[in-house]
Amino acid sequence: MAQIVIKNLKKQFGDFMAVRESSFTIEDGEFFMLLGPSGCGKTTTLRMIAGLELPTSGEIYLDGEEISQRPPSERDIAFVFQMFALYPHMNVRRNISYPLVSQGMPKTAVQAKVAEVAGILGIEDILDRPVGGLSGGDRQRVALGRAIVREPKAFMMDEPLGALDAEFREHMAEELRALHDRMGATTVYVTHDQLEAMQMGDKIVVMNNAVVEQFGTPQEIYDKPATMFVADFIGSPSMNFLKFHGKLAGGASEVSVHDVRCAVPTSREPFEGDMAFGVRPEHIELSDAADFRAEVLATEYLGTTQIVTLRTAGGDIKARIPSHQVARTGETVGLNFKASTVTLFDRQSGRALKSELNEGVLHG
């Protein structure tokens, strides 16, 4: 398996910019997620790595070799599509063995490899069945088997679980991550589902409008978002933004949000202008003693927790609190925000302001 390095990758279709100057590194053996909304450039990036699209400019390195202009057949990369792309006239065994047969591998070696892969995927009992009668989950296992049997340097997966229903999709996500861990393969996986990315990925690239907004571990991206887009896209409910106009001195650890002094991570640079005070719902505490006040608009019971919708001077926000805590619609409550959970944003650029909390992780 191998490291993949992307340097200043760009793809343009006429006047449309699909990918703009992307740079990141996928380490050997990582399960790497390309995450973002439809049309953000994530699938185009994956296709350029696989060789199905040639970049307009930029470099792609696989195992230390520059491959950006090489055809797919010379890249030693296996691609798994969302819609399985199986041969309908072949049974499971022949579908899996096809890449090896086309390479001229001896029959006994092919049989041994197919048996090995079938054992890994738990599909030994369906090897002689036609693919047309299989469930979506079994067809996806067959598609994975056809990719695995080649033993490529890297796997490219374009929303491979997208065609499955929600319950089985979660089960297959667990299986796919476990399979990756057993094989130690470098895997690049495209998804628009932030929960899937957080559940499965070692590292995540978040893309939006052809640009890499941020890359890092799931924990870094959740706790230290580089932009308002990332903060809003990751999390359910997503991060709250209290909007205000203010001034922040270099080294300050407080900021005035609608005339209430609120603690924030120590700033690394001065700023004055339109800001957003970002805090996740689970990091808001309801307290009668707090100076920052809000009106309870609604509550949503979720079992062990409840989501409380609150109206503040900076806009409506949501808090996740214990289900046993009382929050009555119409009452006014105080809100506490722990400094280490807060991110300040420049609302004009959308980017996080540098602080002791996020120093060194604002990629993109």
> DSSP labels for 54-78?
--SEEEEEETTEE-TTS-GGGS-EE
Question: Domain ranges in the chain?
Answer: 4-223, 237-346
How much is the pLDDT for 361? 62
Contacts of 41 (CB under 8 A, 6+ apart): 11, 18, 19, 20, 22, 207, 209, 210, 211
pLDDT in tens, 143-192: 888 888 888 889 899 988 776 677 777 877 888 888 888 888 899 999 99
Is residue 357 pLDDT above 70, yes or no?
A: yes
How much is the pLDDT for 362? 53
At 116, the amino acid letter reads E
How much is the pLDDT for 364? 43
Contacts of 155 (CB under 8 A, 6+ apart): 77, 78, 79, 80, 147, 148, 185, 186, 187, 188
How much is the pLDDT for 296? 97
Is residue 363 pLDDT above 60, yes or no?
A: no
How much is the pLDDT for 137? 80
Is beta strand 240-248 parallel, antiparallel or unpaired with respect to 77-80? unpaired
Is residue 31 pLDDT above 90, yes or no?
A: yes
In this structure, what token pair is assigned to residue 357? Answer: 């909390």
In this chain, the answer to whether the domains covering 4-223 and 237-346 adopt an identical fold is no
Is residue 331 pLDDT above 60, yes or no?
A: yes
What value does the mean pLDDT of the chain take?
A: 91
CB atoms closer than 10 angstroms to residue 84: 20
pLDDT in tens, 289-298: 899 999 999 9
Looking at 1.10.287.990, 3.30.70.380, 3.40.50.300, 3.40.50.620, the CATH number of the domain 4-223 comes to 3.40.50.300
Helix (H) or strand (E) segment spanning residue 21? strand 16-26
How much is the pLDDT for 23? 96
User: Residue 352 burial by CB count (10 A; 0-12/13-18/19+): exposed, middle or buried?
Assistant: buried
Q: Which CATH superfamily is domain 237-346 in?
A: Nucleic acid-binding proteins (2.40.50.140)
How much is the pLDDT for 83? 64
pLDDT in tens, 257-268: 999 999 999 998
Is residue 232 pLDDT above 80, yes or no?
A: yes
How much is the pLDDT for 2? 86
* Radius of gyration of the chain measured on its C-alpha atoms: 24
How much is the pLDDT for 179? 82
In the chain, % of residues over pLDDT 90: 72
pLDDT in tens, 51-100: 999 999 999 999 999 999 999 989 989 888 766 678 888 999 999 999 89
User: Residue 293 burial by CB count (10 A; 0-12/13-18/19+): exposed, middle or buried?
Assistant: middle
How much is the pLDDT for 80? 82
How much is the pLDDT for 1? 54
Categorize the per-residue pLDDT at 50 as very low, low, confident or very high, splitting at 50, 70 and 90.
very high
